[in-house]
Amino acid sequence: MLKQIKGLHHVTSLARDANENNAFFTRTLGLRRIKKTVNFDAPDVYHLYYADETGTPGTVMTYFPFPNAARGRPGAGEVGTTAFAVPPGALPFWEERLAAHGATGLARAELFGEKRLSFAGPDGDGFALVETYDDARAPWTGNGVGEDVAIRGFHSVSMRLADDGATAELLRFMNHEEVDSAGAVRRFAIAGADNGAGIVDIETLPSAGHARQGAGSVHHVAFAVEDRGRQLEVRKALMETGYQVTPVIDRDYFFAIYFRTPGGVLFEVSTNEPGFDRDEDTAHLGEALKLPRQHEHLRPFLEQHLEPIRD
């Protein structure tokens, strides 16, 4: 079992409009934009990161906004819901705030004894806020959302799968235990996850059509390991189990490996090192356009081409 895996690291999704996306995550949800960079594999597209003050793994929601991208079609084989943790009693505040900011799909529910508020992101993204007890994570409160209600980081991701068997086995191999089930949903969790974001739900939908990725879809979900040494151990173990894992890729703020899971969801395993302050002071995270060294020569073009983000 891969004890090196410590919880979620980040979730990366697709969007249509960079400014709409930025406004939603900062001015509506109250997260901090901690990095403004580009998609390293398609540098004419932004890569925007929203998180707590410093980009602590387990709090980091990231987006590739592709202008004019078609909306995704929800279905099996994807992360259907990304859930954020909020303090007990925070949901009435959020219900009112999200409605006032024009969010759609608002619905209250209870799952595994926790109160949750579902809502849709700007491109129909599936989100939920979950009231969570004893979450010690310090929130970012710089956008008019007080500490008593602010998002602490991820609570969980929920995958929609046609068949959960092989993915459940993979999650167990990746340090999760099955802790509960309710109807079609099975809950897996890392006992005492280091970063407070250790839950993965699987919803089995045998008759659902396959998801089509587009704006509003999750592109991949990343799990955290402390450092590169542990990442190599995880990579070796996954490959010995039969997974096709990419080589280690330097993403400037973490090192990443990727592999496709049996249910169709793309997983990444990322290091907590070196972190988002490697090229900006904590006080100014997310302000300047940061480019990886291999794309620095494109800066004049990108500064012309990329639509400026209005803060």
- Give the residues lining the site for Zn ion (CB under 5 A): 12, 222, 268
Of 52 and 268, which has the nearer Cβ to Zn ion? 268
DSSP code at position 112 = T
CB 52 to Zn ion: min, Å? 17
Alpha-helical segments (H) within 11-159: 18-23, 91-100
CB 256 to Zn ion: min, Å? 6
Of 91 and 266, which has the nearer Cβ to Zn ion? 266
CB 258 to Zn ion: min, Å? 8
The secondary element (H helix, E strand) that includes residue 170 is helix 165-173
Q: Is 208 helix (H, G, I), strand (E, B) or coil?
A: coil
Of 12 and 195, which has the nearer Cβ to Zn ion? 12
Token pair in block for residue 138: 């310090």
Q: Is 155 helix (H, G, I), strand (E, B) or coil?
A: strand
How many CA within 13 A on the CB side of residue 141? 9
CB 4 to Zn ion: min, Å? 17
Of 135 and 268, which has the nearer Cβ to Zn ion? 268
Phi first, then psi: give them for residue 303, nearest 5 degrees: -65, -25
CB 156 to Zn ion: min, Å? 17
The CA-based angle 15-17-23, given to 5 degrees, is 100
Of 131 and 268, which has the nearer Cβ to Zn ion? 268
